[in-house]
Amino acid sequence: MKNLESSQQPINRFRLVWALGIAQILAWSSTYYLPAVLATPITKETGWSVTSVVIGLSWGLLVAGACSPMVGRWIDRNGGRPVLAASSLLLAMGMLLMGLASNLAVYYLAWTLIGAGMAAGLYDAAFSTLGRLLGDHARASMTGLTLLGGFASTLGWPLIAGLEHQIGWRYSCFALAAMHLVVGLPIHLLTIPSEKGPPAESAPLTSPPSIPSSSKLTNRIFILLAALLTFQSLVISSVSVHLLDVLKLLGIATSTALAIGMMIGPSQVMARLAEFSIGRNLHPTWSARIAILLCGVGIALLLPAIPWLAFVALALYGAGNGILTIARGTLPLALFGADGYGARMGLLARPMLIAQAVGPVAAALALERFGSIPLLVGMCILVAISFITSLALPAK
């Protein structure tokens, strides 16, 4: 399969991945992970409820879901450079407006801009850019990108917390807006190769051998993949928000629960390194199956409410989540090819982002009404459905 690298000058993949990785750390830190640090300070100063503040993220995810298909089509037509550059501008404007917000209406308007920036600037857009530039050779670069992006919370939380402590939450938002303009925007404009014309003109692409040339079968595979990723997004977003509460309700001490939760990050990194070194020759369908299985086993091992077993559970869960992040980019590329990859990623992102917005709210209601055990059982059922769905996907 041809790609931009073969039709123009060679692309420095190492430089490209590192640059995009730095931009991803900044983008994730100032969007998805932002409320974890700033929700309480915003609540204390404004008097808004914590729920009202956190709903901003859910609204942003819904906006991102609505915009994602359009973003994917833009990347297919114009390449990733202008789209990712636009994300830096949107995120900067959103952070600036958030810092100026005097009421909830302006605050939610800020999250509207941030949501559009998330659609144009997070993993899905970056994966689409790499897929368009590198074609069949994008898998290793996607893995490298997720390795770097995985440090967003590790680096972002302390940075934003330090800024908030020194200058307050409003000026922290202004500082983040400035970072998007002086760090993110130059990275996107200067390190991503420009592309002229659609790939079909400059780099003819063939259909991948994974799927026979049948539109009905292709649509069926696409729907199955979308369902699989959406179910997993429901589970992962719910665990991310409610893990500590679930562990406490299981009778695990707060300090121990915090230590258990810290297993996720290192496990994600180790699993991504393993995928890069050992699993790079596996078909992405098999990587996805292994990832889903690890997530399911990890959640199931929380049910006995045994602290030492919970450490193992979260290590397995984190490993599965780490591999699945890569699979969401490599699997569509392997199954459908690079032609129209951006549009497909955008269509897949919509239900995933909506699930990420709705999942924590639904999980909170289930946790309040039924408790932690039924919630964990429900998550195990969703993971089981995802795994069964993965068995219907081509794997060679």
pLDDT digits (tens, 9 = 90+) for 53-106: 888 988 999 999 899 989 988 988 888 899 999 999 999 999 999 999 999 999
Distance separating alpha carbons of residues 295 and 364, to the nearest angstrom: 20
Residue 174's φ and ψ, nearest 5 degrees, are: -65, -40
**Domain boundaries, given as residue ranges, for the chain:** 4-197, 215-390
The CA–CA distances, whole Å, from 4 to 16, 80, 112, 128 equal 14, 12, 33, 13
4-197 and 215-390: same fold?
Answer: yes
Residue 258: predicted pLDDT: 79
**Helix, strand or coil, per DSSP, at residue 326:** helix
Q: What value does the mean pLDDT take over residues 173-200?
A: 84
The CATH classification number of 4-197 equals: 1.20.1250.20
Tell me which of 3.40.50.1980, 3.40.718.10, 3.40.720.10, 1.20.1250.20 is the CATH number of domain 215-390. 1.20.1250.20
Average pLDDT of the chain? 85
Give the percent of the chain with pLDDT over 90: 39
204: Cβ contacts below 8 Å, ≥ 6 apart: 2
